[in-house]
Amino acid sequence: MRLIILDRDGVINQDSDDYIKTPEEWLPIPGSLEAIARLTRAKYRVVVATNQSGLGRGMFDASMLSRIHEKMHRKVAEAGGRIEAIFFCPHAPDDHCECRKPKPGLFHDIASRLYVDLQDVPAVGDALRDIQAAQAIGARPMLVRTGKGSRALAAATGLDGVAVFDDLAAVADALLAADAAG
């Protein structure tokens, strides 16, 4: 069984500068749920690593975040996929924690809790901080143009050698084609 790590906002669902604060605001990016389903069928363990500073900023509480994640789990399941686990950082940027991307704390948690080595594990994000966290632990960073991805690509700092895809569906296409090729 293989592992893939996904950022949430901007990779699976539409991002918002105003934050995703309710289940109603959580809207999947077209093709993302089906991409997760295809990865699930191909025996990938899909996990999410997401900064959720809205918690630390008091924009929503843990109960609301749980409801948002319940909706995400439900929608992914309806498409035939499965998210095995969600790892999130609840801190605001000025809390200076170790789990907020670009620091690799969430990735260390994933490795520890799932008893896996993250060397060369695909890690999909839409922002430079996602790429930096993946690089810090030796995972294989992949940038999508959805969410903040196009802006990150335009800035083009720290992205040398990082694979870039239009969206999560294109990532799934590439991974599954590489798997089929052996």
Active site amino acids: 7, 9
Question: What element of type H or E holds 144?
Answer: strand 140-144
> What would the two tokens of residue 6 be?
């996904």
For residue 182, give the 3-state DSSP assignment. coil
Residues 6+ apart with CB under 8 A from 47: 3, 4, 5, 6, 83, 84, 85, 86, 87, 110, 114
